[in-house]
Structure 1
């Protein structure tokens, strides 16, 4: 069974392994916890993820953001970050949902399935009528994931496609 589950202490070992295996920046997906030890993950990263989802202790300019790990039964195969609202920089940049699929699970439909689940979560949180996203122009697989979930290309520049998904 494929499902999203919020970052939590009970699954910390598997969550840490996913974070450890995910590069700092891969095709635009930012892993700010790359290189953390397990101890740092437990004492800093995981508590921050949990607090950020509740809007607690957000740095200036940040918005509440929930970290959802994508599970296939007992394995974490991806991570979806859902930002609860937009700032001007998010509106013009990364948007509301960012995601990464573990390299061992790519090309198997997890991105498409995970994004569908994330969109379902977003419908309860996001106030806008559309979800804003972006994708590197040289990442056609991720663009296909978004298009498979009803996205359209709103505009592009030399580096990015900026997509939208209607939710209302």
Structure 2
């Protein structure tokens, strides 16, 4: 099994488009703002926007640079990991540094845990904070387990969300 986490690019646009097209606009808190786009819109607008966001260019007000990674399993695009490069007050109190989603037919195979492990390795050289901040809906215990499998601990919770921290620095 070959599992890789690579930044989104135009080289694999067909596979990346199929991945994003297969994922709902919002599922368990993972937001896919590119759901419903045509292939041409995805290629000419979405990918350039994601690459700009990673470079910190043309950011909407209140946004921080964020890199979009695709999780590849044996050459198939199976998941998305969005890594925000630093926190704002809003991100610190809410979604945190990272959002991720795995294509439905690949769930339950440990790929989210393995993908998060790969994302943590990338985060160590990007994130200035000593911990990665994450959140997940309370009705999504699988996501909480993924975070805990990667050294996450429950920092706090509210009526809807668990807020988890994963140490990045030793």
Q: Deviations over 1:34-57 (max 9, x none)?
A: 100001101111110111111011
* Unaligned segments of structure 2, at least 5 residues: none
How far, CA to CA, are the matches of 2:53 and 2:168 in structure 1? 24
Q: Would you say 1:148 and 2:149 are equivalent positions?
A: yes
* Unaligned segments of structure 1, at least 5 residues: none
| 1:47 match | 48
| 2:162 match | 161
Please show how residues 115-126 of structure 1 align to structure 2 within 5 Å. 115-126=116-127
How far, CA to CA, are the matches of 2:87 and 2:46 in structure 1? 23
Deviation for aligned residue 1:83: 0.3
| 2:85 match | 84
How far, CA to CA, are the matches of 1:39 and 1:78 in structure 2? 21
Aligned residues: 168
TM-score, normalised by the number of residues in structure 2: 0.98
Deviation for aligned residue 1:23: 0.1
How far, CA to CA, are the matches of 1:14 and 1:55 in structure 2? 25
Runs of 4+ in 1 over 3 A off after TM superposition: none
Please show how residues 5-154 of structure 1 align to structure 2 within 5 Å. 5-154=6-155
